[in-house]
Amino acid sequence: MRARLPDHHLNPESKDVIRLATAVVGTLSALALGLLIASAKSSYDNAEAEMRTAAARVLLLDRVMAHYGPETGHARQLLRELIEKRLSRGWTAETTDETAGKALPEYQDIEAVQDNLRALSPRDAAQHSLQARALEVSGMVAETHWLLVESGSEGLPWAFLAVLVCWLSLLFATFGLQAPPNPTVLSILFVCALSVAGAVFLVTDMANPYIGLVRVSDTPLQSAIERLGKP
């Protein structure tokens, strides 16, 4: 485009106007990118906290059932199978309720644990209290599951992201208009554009914390499963 434009379109006065206009767009792009980073970081932090909270609740539920007595053995086994299934499938809304062979979806697994707890017949006040506590914690675990399902389609606003990409493309186009098309300029523009594209990719990847390259670690669940079922 630069080679085809008339010379007076790229005189010093024209370049000054182009610089002023691109400075405005560059400022808006920086603000938009900052908002996207803040949104993605918030989503990632919330998912990380959710993972740790879920693992802690599972461990608490297992310990409450262990204190109740051997009657909860089947419910504890179901809970362990639920965590093993979660680790094998991943922590995503797309896979959380999939059926594999005779395996039940996860919401039916946690409901089976709750059904076993409701079927218990407490012999004294202590067991009655433990049963109520176990049902309360299992309800929290079920709530975590449905929150994951409901928030599975969330992510960065694509319209906002599309506008940001258009602004960045405009900026790099104006950079090319004002510079001679030599190999050094082209190489620098290519490297810088690739760097910005990589940053945008990482931000969008972080906004989906259970999949992709930047994902929440399942270490809390791995640690929890090692402690499940112990007397």
Question: If you write DSSP's letter for every residue of 12-36 in order, what string do you get?
Answer: HHHHHHHHHHHHHHHHHHHHHHHHH
* Separation CA 116–CA 118 (nearest Å): 5
Percent of the chain whose predicted confidence (pLDDT) is above 70: 89
Query: Could you tell me the pLDDT band of residue 63, with boundaries at 50, 70 and 90?
Result: very high
Evaluate whether 85 touches 230 at the Cβ level (below 8 Å). no
pLDDT value, residue 222: 85
What does the pLDDT average to over 128-144? 90
Evaluate whether 200 touches 40 at the Cβ level (below 8 Å). no
Give this prediction's pTM: 0.72
* Domain ranges across the chain: 7-40+156-206, 49-155+217-227
Q: Which residue has the higher pLDDT, 19 or 2?
A: 19
* Separation CA 75–CA 117 (nearest Å): 7
- Between the CA of residue 202 and those of 42, 134, 208, 219, 221, what are the distances in Å? 14, 40, 10, 22, 25
pLDDT value, residue 100: 47
What does the pLDDT average to over 20-30? 88
